[in-house]
């Protein structure tokens, strides 16, 4: 099993550009989530999904969109990048549908917005 994979590992964007961060898991997990990690602020939940076709907002959803068309994939879209979105982004998945079990994190994407 590859576990949770994320692409790209690093990305530099200019203000106003759009991009999609990819996340995939091969463990047949129903629950998937996206976090951003900023220095001194821990992990903050952006969006999450409890199954294909179901998504919901987390703590900091503004400026981000998600979709979940398959169990395996959960892409995160930045519609118009802003410097405030410079961060490390982690995708995670869990075998517990509510997420209240071990979350397996991907390796992260380091995004810089100039």
Partner 1 sequence: GENVEQHPSTLSVQEGDSAVIKCTYSDSASNYFPWYKQELGKRPQLIIDIRSNVGEKKDQRIAVTLNKTAKHFSLHITETQPEDSAVYFCAASNFNKFYFGSGTKLNVKP
The residue ranges that bind partner 1 (CB under 8 A) are 31, 33, 35, 40-45, 48, 50, 56, 58-59, 90, 98-103, 105-108
85 vs 106: CA distance, rounded Å: 19
Give least dist CB 75 to partner 1, A: 18
User: What DSSP assignment string belongs to 8-72?
Assistant: -SEEEE-TT--EEEEEEESS--SEEEEEEE-TTS-EEEEEEEEETTEEEE-SS-TTEEE--SSSS
Give least dist CB 16 to partner 1, A: 30
Question: Based on CB atoms, which residue is closest to partner 1, 1 or 98?
Answer: 98
Give least dist CB 105 to partner 1, A: 4
Q: What is the DSSP letter of 80?
A: S
Question: Based on CB atoms, which residue is closest to partner 1, 32 or 81?
Answer: 32
């Amino acid at each position: 099993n590859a576990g949770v994979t994320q692409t790209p590992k690093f990305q530099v964007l200019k203000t106003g550009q759009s991009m999609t961060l990819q996340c995939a898991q091969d463990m047949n997990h129903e629950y998937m989530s996206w976090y951003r990690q900023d220095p001194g602020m821990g992990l903050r939940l952006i969006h999450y999904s409890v199954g294909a076709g179901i998504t919901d907002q987390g703590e900091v959803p503004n400026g981000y969109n998600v979709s979940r068309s398959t169990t395996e994939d959960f892409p995160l879209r930045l519609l118009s990048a802003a410097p405030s979105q410079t961060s490390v982004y982690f995708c995670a998945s869990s075998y517990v549908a509510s997420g209240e079990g071990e979350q397996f994190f991907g390796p992260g994407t380091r995004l810089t917005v100039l």
